[in-house]
Amino acid sequence: MERLKKLYPDPVLLFTVFLLTLMGFLTISSVKIAPNLFFDLSLSDLRKPILFFFFSITGILLMSFIAFAFNYRKINSQKFIYITVGISLFLLLIILVKKLLLNKPVDRWLIGTSIQPSEFSRIVIVIFIAYYVSRKGYINKLRFFGWAILVVLAHSILLFLQPDKGMAIFVMLLAWLMLWIGGSSPKVYVPVAGLFALVGVFMILFGGDYVHKRFLAWRNPVEDSFGSGYQVIQSLLAFMNGGLLGQGFGKGFQKLGPLTQADTDYILATIGEELGFPGIIFLFSLYGVLFWRLLKIATETVDTFGKLIVTGIMLNLLIAVVVNIMMAVNILPPKGMPLPFVSYGISNLLASFVGLGIVGAVYKKQLHFRGL
């Protein structure tokens, strides 16, 4: 553990993240490499495992660098915060313009399908709300949070127009939870909850036929078993095939074709099919340790800005984990939400590492104060 402290201030958290990414790498390799290992293995089969491995190592190094070289207190300034917010909104606006110019029904990526600005916008929202609440102090009037509402809604509307309704609602939920936990008055967080809920309902009702089909797949996937309900059914079948102890690593069937998102949004179903109940429990235990360490760091952080940043990063990851799990077992409607550090997705992976890098920077400062 002493050696790990040279890489990251909290070695337990670092080791936990390493195990999560290792589990992700092995599962992605099982999906892409194992079926063709002794037959017709091609370079295209190796692409995703190699990229995931490379960006996992890059992410861990980036996380370590941010933790030790980054002074999070220097970003607690109006100039830095609003430049960052401006860049975030600008990138989302570029996605929208690109979508309109190319006449695409959906476009969420800046370049190809590898850079998704919305993943980094979630980190920007966390830092912005942490700055806003820490500067305002105890917010007891709605007008004191008015500008922050506009910034959050601007992000949410641009995400809605991509369209990415789930991420649009995610951003509002994340901002509201930070406002609530930040100690604002019920006179503020109750009406803000009502406003965000109203906007969320509007996005669902006017989300088009695509959203309707997803709710149909959630309510009764069998009704359109070869359309909107297909992935949900295949995910549930994967869990059923796995049973209690699983089929064994590399021996899953659903990943061979039926479960087309076996290494991304539905990677949990692949783990359940191959590793069974022990694999799922091990994965949940790792996430439990991750959130326990983040909560510990948040409670030990003295200044409000740092505490809210750590809390926001924790909520960002926690909501994603809960949504992904509930989606995989059809408790929530299907939504493209990767499982942090496990699912294949470069933007999500790097954004998650950046978030933990900032957490490390906060924790390093608290350890310094404790040592004085």
How do the domains of the chain map onto residue ranges? 1-69+226-372, 77-207
Specify the higher pLDDT residue, 171 or 257. 171
Closest by CA to 313, choosing from 129, 151, 154, 102, is 129
Mean pLDDT of 119-142: 89
Phi, psi of 265 (to 5 degrees): -65, -30
Closest by CA to 353, choosing from 61, 5, 52, is 61
Closest by CA to 175, choosing from 237, 130, 240, 227, is 130
Closest by CA to 353, choosing from 265, 281, 361, 269, is 361
Write out pLDDT tens, residues 165-195.
889 999 999 999 999 988 788 888 899 999 9
Mean pLDDT of 210-231: 72
- In this predicted structure, what is the pLDDT of residue 372? 46
C-alpha 263/C-alpha 113 separation (Å) is 15
Mean pLDDT of 1-24: 87
pLDDT band at 203 (very low <50, low <70, confident <90, very high): confident
- In this predicted structure, what is the pLDDT of residue 269? 93
- In this predicted structure, what is the pLDDT of residue 224? 65
- Cβ atoms < 10 Å from Cβ of 270: 27
What would the 3-class secondary structure string for 168-186 be? HHHHHHHHHHHHHHCCCCH
pTM above 0.85, yes or no: yes
C-alpha 257/C-alpha 132 separation (Å) is 47
Closest by CA to 193, choosing from 124, 119, 142, 118, is 142
Joined together, the tokens standing for residue 250 give 């590399």
Closest by CA to 237, choosing from 256, 218, 259, 217, is 259
In sequence order, the 6+-apart residues with CB closer than 8 A to the CB of 183 are 133, 138
**DSSP-derived 3-state class of residue 7:** coil
Specify the higher pLDDT residue, 36 or 320. 320
Instruction: Indicate whether 52 pLDDT > 70.
Output: yes
Of 87-96, 218-227, 281-290, the range with the lowest mean pLDDT is 218-227
Mean pLDDT of 270-288: 95
Specify the higher pLDDT residue, 184 or 53. 53
C-alpha 254/C-alpha 328 separation (Å) is 13
C-alpha 298/C-alpha 359 separation (Å) is 9
Mean pLDDT of 303-325: 94
pLDDT above 90 covers what percent of the chain? 51
Joined together, the tokens standing for residue 57 give 């190592």
Instruction: Indicate whether 225 pLDDT > 70.
Output: no
Mean pLDDT of 227-241: 84
In sequence order, the 6+-apart residues with CB closer than 8 A to the CB of 166 are 323, 335, 336, 337
Closest by CA to 342, choosing from 22, 116, 113, is 22
